[in-house]
Amino acid sequence: MSIIYLSAVADEEPSAADLAGIELEWPLIAAELDLLDAQIAYHNAGPSPSVLDRRRVRRAERRVLAVSRELADHNADSEVVA
C-alpha cells in the first residue's frame, strides 16, 4: 500500500478562477446528487421497486445528460480558436 504525503498548504484559498469553475459546474454536481438520491431510493425499495422509483431514476439520468450537454456546449463555445 502506498502512502501519499501531502505538503502543508498554508493560507491558500481557491482562486477566483477556481470558484468560477465550481460555480459553472454546480448544476451538474446538483444533478448528479439528485441521481444518486434516486438510485439509493430505488435500491432501498427492496425486491420490488415501484414504477415511480424507476421513473425518478430515469428522470434524474436525463437531467444529468442534459446538464452535461449544456456544460459541454458552453465549454466548446468558450474555447479560443488559435
Position 27 confidence tier, pLDDT thresholds 50, 70, 90? very high
Domain membership of residue 6 (yes or no) is no
Are 27 and 65 in contact by the 8 Å Cβ rule? The answer is no
DSSP states of 25-65 as a string? HHHHHHHHHHHHHHHHHHHHTTTS--HHHHHHHHHHHHHHH
Domains in the chain, number: 1
Domain membership of residue 40 (yes or no) is yes
Domain membership of residue 5 (yes or no) is no
pTM listed for this prediction: 0.73
Domain membership of residue 9 (yes or no) is no
Domain that holds residue 47: 16-77
Domain membership of residue 47 (yes or no) is yes
Domain membership of residue 1 (yes or no) is no
Section 21-29 average pLDDT = 94
pLDDT at 10 exceeding the cut of 80: no
Predicted pLDDT at 5: 75
Domain membership of residue 22 (yes or no) is yes
Give the model confidence (pLDDT) of 31-50 as tens digits.
999 999 999 999 999 899 99
Domain membership of residue 39 (yes or no) is yes
